[in-house]
Amino acid sequence: MERITSLHSTFLLNSALAPYLDAFNDRLRRGRYAAVTINKYISGITHFARWMTRQEQSAQSLDENSVMQFLGEHLPRCDCSSPVLRDYRSLRAALGHLLSVLREQGVVPIPPLPTGDIADELRRYDEHMNNARGLA
C-alpha cells in the first residue's frame, strides 16, 4: 500500500474502493503487468473513485452499467481537475480488472448467465471444447 500512497492522492485511500486496492494491485502483479501499466490503472480507478463519490455510489452497487455510465457519459464531458486518466481504453481495462477483483472478493455479484437457445448452444460448445478437445 505504501507504493499507492506515494504515487496517488490520498483520495483513493479514503474512497469506497480503498479496501480492495491491495487485491487490485496483486491481481495486476500476478498478471505480470508492467509497473507503468499498474500505475496507469491505479490512476484510472482513482478517477473512477472520484466519480463514484460524486454519484454517491458504493462499491457494492458497481456493475457493468456503472462502468458504461462512467465511460460513456462522464468521460466525454469530464471536467475533473488534473491529474486524472482520461484514456478510454486504459480506463475500460482498469475497470474490468476492478470488477473482477470485486467479484472475487464477493463485493459485487457475478452477473447471471445469458439464457436462450443461442446461449445454450454456446455453453454446450464451450463444454465440448473444454472436455472433449482439451481446450484450456
10-58 pLDDT, tens digit per residue, is 788 889 999 999 999 999 999 999 999 999 999 999 999 999 999 999 9
Q: What is the pLDDT of residues 96-128, one digit of tens each?
A: 999 999 999 999 988 887 888 998 899 889 888
Q: Provide the 3-class DSSP secondary structure of residue 54.
A: helix
Within 8 A by CB and 6+ apart from 4, the residues are: 12, 13, 21, 25, 42
pLDDT reported for residue 26: 96
Query: Which amino acid belongs to residue 102?
Result: L
